[in-house]
Structure 1
């Protein structure tokens, strides 16, 4: 029997993290009341703290800033250019060999 993986929307995650910020409640208490593990709640807190508005993009896609998107795009272009260069080098080596 397979276990169904539960999915939580970004608003639920943000509200859960907001509940842990109340000094009268412990993380364990909030997690128990919401029916989730405290480790998952700590993970959400860390992600929200590190990425702020870009946290919890959904569908397994990483949220990137405009600068990070630009860097990824340039890295892809560089990789393609290097691959083309290597192919051309091999072609030149093949065609420059003297026929026997």
Structure 2
């Protein structure tokens, strides 16, 4: 990600020790690591959401293609997409079925 070598990290550490002092340095490091972790988690969540939305869009496009072909003469990947959508729709309806 960043091209930071050993000497750059050492210089940053020495400067942080001189500026913050030994009392506040551990707390600052913890705070920095917590912030980095939360930014990474947010980026990961955003990435997963975008991938999910792209997959949904792809399934919708495949469903449109399948509907245009009349749901009869479909390629295997279109049939798989339609089956996935049917399964998803059935799983959503399942909790709302009357017993």
Give your verdict on TM over 0.5.
no
Task: Tell me which interval the TM-score lies in, with the shorter structure as reference length.
Answer: 0.3 to 0.5
TM-score (norm 2): 0.41
Larger radius of gyration: 2
Task: Give the helix-richer structure, 1 or 2.
Answer: 2
